[in-house]
Amino acid sequence: METAHELILLGGALGLISIFAGVISSRFNAPLLLVFLLLGMLAGEDGPGRIQFADFRAAYLIGSIALAIILFEGGLKTERRMIEIALWPSLVLATIGVAITALFVGVAAVWLFKIPFTEALLIGAVLAPTDAAAVNTLLRDAGAAVPDRVKATLEVESGLNDPTSVFLTILLVESLMSPQVFTGWNGILLFVEEMLGGAVLGLLAGYALLFLVRKLKLPVSMHPVLALASVLVVFGGAQLIGASGFLAVYLMGLIVGVSQFESQRGVVFASETFAWLAQISLFLMLGLLVTPHELLPLATPVLLITAVLIFLARPFATFACLMPFRFTSREMTFASWVGLRGAVPIYLAIVPVLAGFQRGTLLFAVTFGVVIVSLLLQGWTISPFAWVVGFGNRSRPPV
Compute the distance between CA of residue 62 and CA of residue 66 in angstroms, rounded to an integer: 6
Distances (CA, A) of 289 to 46, 67, 198, 248: 11, 17, 30, 28
Residue 44: what are its φ and ψ, rounded to 5°? -80, -170
pLDDT (average), residues 349-354: 94
Collapsing DSSP states into helix, strand and coil, what is residue 51?
Answer: strand
Residue 46: what are its φ and ψ, rounded to 5°? -90, -10
211 CB-contact burial (10 Å; exposed 0-12 / middle 13-18 / buried 19+)? exposed
Top-confidence residue, 6 or 393: 6
Structure confidence at residue 186 (pLDDT): 77
- Do 131 and 278 form a contact (C-beta atoms < 8 A)? no
**pLDDT one-digit tens code per residue, 185-200:** 777 888 999 999 999 9
Phi then psi for residue 51, to 5 deg, are -85, 125
CB 277 within 8 A of CB 68: no
Q: How far apart are CA 120 and CA 113, in angstroms?
A: 8
Span 239-257, average pLDDT? 95
Q: Distance between CA atoms of 319 and 222, rounded to whole angstroms?
A: 45
pTM: 0.91
What whole-number distance in Å separates Cα of residue 24 and Cα of residue 167?
38
Give how far Cα 392 sits from Cα of 29, 387, 389, Å: 15, 4, 8
Residue ranges covered by each domain of the chain: 55-388
Instruction: For residue range 84-112, list pLDDT tens digits in order.
Output: 999 999 999 999 999 999 999 999 999 98
Domain 55-388 has CATH 3.30.70.260: no
Supply the DSSP string of 327-344, one letter for each residue: --HHHHHHHHHT----HH
In whole angstroms, give the CA distance from residue 302 to residue 286.
Answer: 18
CA distances from 177 to 169, 189, 230, 360, 361 (A): 12, 20, 34, 12, 16
CA-based max dimension of the chain: 63
| 8 A C-beta contact, residue 78 and residue 319 | no
pLDDT digits (tens, 9 = 90+) for 305-319: 999 999 999 999 999
pLDDT at 180: 63
Quick one: average pLDDT of 355-376? Answer: 91
Neighbours of 96 (CB within 10 A): 14
Residues 2-31: pLDDT tens digits?
Answer: 678 877 888 888 888 888 887 777 676 677
The full DSSP string for 100-144 is: HHHHHHHHHHHHHH---HHHHHHHHHHH-PPPHHHHHHHHHHS--
Torsions phi, psi of 381, nearest 5? -120, 10
Summarize the confidence of residues 326-334 as an average pLDDT.
94
Check if the beta carbon of residue 66 is closer than 8 Å to that of residue 279: yes
- Please determine, for residue 181, whether its predicted confidence score (pLDDT) is greater than 80: no
Please tell me whether residue 44 adopts helix, strand or coil conformation. strand
DSSP string, 180-196: TS--HHHHHHHHHHHHH
pLDDT of residue 397 exceeding 60, the answer is no
